Amino acid sequence: MTIGYAPGKVILFGEHAVVYGRPAIAVPVTQVQAQAEVEDAEKGQGITIVARDLGQTYKLNEAPPDDALRAIVVSTLRRIKVGLEHDLTITISSSIPVARGLGSGAAVSTAIVRALVGHFDKWLDSRAISDLVFETEKIHHGTPSGIDNTVIAFQKPVYFVRGERMEIFWVQHPFLLAIADTGVQSPTKVAVEDVRRGWEEDPVKYEGLFDDIGTIADMGRRAIEQGDIEAMGRLMDENQRLLRLLKVSSPELEGLIGAARQGGALGAKLSGAGRGGNMIALVTRETCSQVSMMLRLAGAKDVIVTEVS
């Protein structure tokens, strides 16, 4: 058996605007992971996919072409020049909540790529893995930015401009994020398409909002590189204000954001597509417990605290 792993992720700054060519910053979340196990099966069994969390087991050749798990298996085997005639069982599990902005789809795909590559004693660098996963992300999200597959494949903080730049950068001082789950599923594809409709109806307004969000992402990178945690918090609050104007927040998110600020968070915002999913709060070691408690009292289904370094 060969096992591949991949972490979750959160977007610190720049969601939605990143689809329109503005910068965004994302970081891995190692407290949650996707796992894929690949093992040889009996002769003649073909390739079987076992999606443990979904309670599904099916043959690769019986899955529709737009099945994301089938797509990543086929594209990976083609990339490493391995035929589809092998007899394999691929078992997938994940502790990353689905449709919550933590990159569950990209993480599962990345774990599958790593497990298949290792099982056949091949090698792909992080860029090649990211590129494979990006193609599958189109099934999940329609018009993905590419940031999820990038940060998850490289497992480092990433400054990203779609189609132009991808830079791993260094954190001056590690910082803590409390990630709170609203419990509301929010498929990225739906929110992205709604923002696109708004942009088509009023491009001047939306381009201005995207510009402002991109500026915040640039300022956020500088704050992280300089270790200015107070500036990071202020920028998160401002980013959230702009995301409200894009109409991707929700009452559940706003409730948790308010609770985090009451608990002493330096800043708080939604992370990912919005309309549900997760929010993130910038906390210190002194305020971490208080903020986590306030988030749970406000209805958070789960709270994860992760250190970004």
Catalytic residues: 148
Of 148, 100, 143, 150, nearest in space to 274 by CA: 100
Of 272, 299, 291, 308, nearest in space to 97 by CA: 272
What DSSP assignment string belongs to 239-272? HHHHHHHTT---HHHHHHHHHHHHTT-SEEEEES
CA atoms within 13 A on the CB side of 295: 33
d(CA 233, CA 216) in angstroms, rounded, equals: 11
d(CA 109, CA 76) in angstroms, rounded, equals: 10
Compute the radius of gyration of the chain from its Cα atoms: 19
**In degrees, to the nearest 5, what angle opens at C-alpha 66 toward C-alphas 64 and 72?**
100
Give Cβ neighbours of residue 158 (< 8 Å, ≥ 6 apart).
25, 26, 27, 147, 150, 151, 166, 167, 168, 169
**DSSP β-bridge partners for residue 268:** 281
**Lookup result for tokens 């992080």:** 126
Which structure tokens are listed for 272? Answer: 């990912």
Residue 164's φ and ψ, nearest 5 degrees, are: -130, -55
Amino acid, single-letter form, for residue 36: A
Which structure tokens are listed for 48? Answer: 């079987």
Which structure tokens are listed for 19? Answer: 């689809």
